[in-house]
Amino acid sequence: YYKHVYYHVVSHDDAEKKLRQADHQAGTFLIRDSESKPGQNYILSLSDGSNIKYYRIYTQNSKYYMTTHVQFDSLNDLVHHYMMEADGLPCSLTVPIFKQVNIPIAMSIELKISKSSIKFFQCINAGQFGETWKGDCKDKGPVIIKTNIATNIVQETFLEEANILKKLNHKNIISLYGACTESYPFYIVTEPINGSLKDYLTTNNPTPAELVAITIQVTDGMMYLGEQDYIHCDLRAENILLGDHNTVKIANFHLARHLNGNKYWIAKKKDKLAKKWTAPEGYTLNRLSIKSDVWSFGILLWELVSKGKEPYPGMTDEEVKEAVSKGYHMPIPRDCPEPFKLLMMNCWKQNEYERPNFIHIFNILYLRNK
C-alpha cells in the first residue's frame, strides 16, 4: 500500500471523478502529485459537500505548506492541522477517498461496522498514533471514531488496538463498539466521551476531592488491566477520557501489550514510547512491566496536581531520557495535597520492585476518600 492512505496516483480528472462518484460528506479529500511539477508540489482535492476545490501544496526547504504563514515538517502534519481546523479552507478535512485493500481482522460479525453508517463531526485529537473524532454511527448514535489517516503506522498494528479492546470489559476502560476494515483507512468505533482528562484539567479547576475520585477510577481500570495480564505502556492524562459525570475511560491502547505470563515486555527500537512518561527501565533495559505503568501513573498524578501542564517543564524528550536513566525524577509540586505527594514519591522509585502495585495504590486512595 502507499505510505499515506490519503495519497492517490491519479490525474486531475480522475481525482474529480473519484470525489464525485459517491455522496461524500463535506471534507472528503485526496492528495495527488501536481501534474505541472510532479515530485515537487502536491494538489489537495477537497469536496465541501457540493463543490470540489483544489489547493496547491508547496514543498520548499523540507517544509510543506499551502500558505507561507503556516508550514509543516511533513504531509502528515499538514493533514493533521487541517483536520483540527479549516484555517482558510471551506471546511476542515474529514476522511480521504477510500482505497480498497484486503487485510482481514478477526472481528466477530456483531462488531463489524460499515463505513457508510458513519458520519464524522469534529476531530478532537490528532497525533502520531492517529486521529480521534466525535461522530455518529447508524443504530448506535454518538460515537468516537479513531483512524490513522495521517500516520505511518501500518494497518495491522493499528487494528491490534481493536483486537485488544474487544477482549476488555470494565467500566473504566473505553468500550469497543466495532471496527470498519473493508477499505483504507480503517476505523475503530468506541463509546462516546466528552473529552480528555488533559483538556478537562486545563479548562477547569477541579477540587482535590474531584482529583482523588478521578484517580481512584484510573487505578480501578489499571488493576483490571493487570489482572488480564496487560500493560498499557502509555498511561497519561491525554489518554484518559471522561464520560458523563467525570466517568473515567482509559483509552488509546496503541502501545498496550499482553504479557502472556511474562513479567516484562521487551521494547524494540521502532516502538515509539512516550518519553516523558516512560520509566527508567524502559530506557536502560528496554523493558516494561506493570510497575512501569505505576511510574507513568506517578507522572499522571503530577499532571493532575499541575492542572494539566506538560511534565518536565523546560526539558526536551532526550534530556528527560538521559536524566531519568541516571536517577532523576521531577520535584514534588509545591502545596501538593496528600495522598498524591507520598504516592508520587513511591511511584518514582528507581527500582521497579520498590514501587507499589495498583491494588496498594487503590486502597490508599479509597481509604482517603471515605
Q: Residue 157: is its pLDDT beyond 70? A: yes
What's the structural domain count of the chain? 3
Task: Using DSSP bridges, classify how beta strands 118-127 and 130-137 pair: parallel, antiparallel or unpaired.
Answer: antiparallel
Same domain, 167 and 125: yes
98 close to 183: Cβ distance less than 8 angstroms: yes
Which structural domain range is residue 343 located in? 195-369
Q: Which of 234, 244, 293, 335 is catalytic?
A: 234
Same domain, 185 and 276: no
> Is residue 299, in this structure, part of any structural domain at all?
yes
CATH code of the domain containing 149: 3.30.200.20
Same domain, 265 and 294: yes
Same domain, 105 and 80: no
Q: Check residue 109 and give its pLDDT.
A: 46
Q: Check residue 328 and give its pLDDT.
A: 94
Q: Residue 1: is its pLDDT beyond 50? A: no
Same domain, 16 and 112: no
Active site residue 13: no
Q: Residue 148: is its pLDDT beyond 60? A: yes
Same domain, 139 and 272: no
Q: Residue 155: is its pLDDT beyond 90? A: no
Q: Residues near 244 by Cβ (< 8 Å), separated by ≥ 6? A: 194
Q: Check residue 180 and give its pLDDT.
A: 84
216 close to 364: Cβ distance less than 8 angstroms: no
Q: How do residues 283-335 score in pLDDT, each as one tens digit?
A: 999 899 999 999 999 999 999 999 999 999 999 999 999 999 999 999 999 88
Q: Which of 127-141, 148-162, 325-339 has the lowest mean pLDDT?
A: 148-162
Distances (CA, A) of 60 to 32, 70, 157, 239, 337: 17, 13, 32, 35, 51
- The larger pLDDT score, comparing residue 199 to residue 35, is at 199
> Is residue 4, in this structure, part of any structural domain at all?
no
Q: Measured in Å, how far apart are the chain's first and last C-alpha atoms?
A: 55
Q: Check residue 57 and give its pLDDT.
A: 94
274 in helix, strand or coil? coil
Q: Residue 183: is its pLDDT beyond 80? A: no
> Is residue 1, in this structure, part of any structural domain at all?
no
Which letter does DSSP use for residue 40 in this model?
T
Q: Give the mean pLDDT of 192-215.
A: 92
Average confidence score pLDDT of the chain: 88
Q: How do residues 230-246 score in pLDDT, each as one tens digit?
A: 999 999 999 999 998 88
290 close to 279: Cβ distance less than 8 angstroms: no
Query: Rounded to whole angstroms, how far apart are CA atoms 91 and 86?
Result: 5
Q: For residue 274, give the amino acid letter.
A: A
pTM exceeds 0.95 for this model: no
**3-state SS track over 67-116:** ECCEEECCHHHHHHHHHHCCCCCCCCCCCECCEECCCCCCCCHHHECCHH
Same domain, 260 and 308: yes
Distances (CA, A) of 215 to 137, 209, 355: 31, 10, 17
Same domain, 324 and 210: yes
Same domain, 121 and 16: no
Q: Check residue 41 and give its pLDDT.
A: 87
Query: Rounded to whole angstroms, how far apart are CA atoms 249 and 290?
Result: 18
Element (H, E) at 8: none
How is 342-365 classified by DSSP, letter by letter? HHHHHHT-SSGGGSPPHHHHHHHH
9 close to 153: Cβ distance less than 8 angstroms: no
Q: Check residue 95 and give its pLDDT.
A: 85
Q: If pLDDT is split at 50, 70 and 90, which confidence band does 104 have?
A: low
**How much of the chain, in percent, has pLDDT values that exceed 70?**
92
Q: Residue 113: is its pLDDT beyond 90? A: no
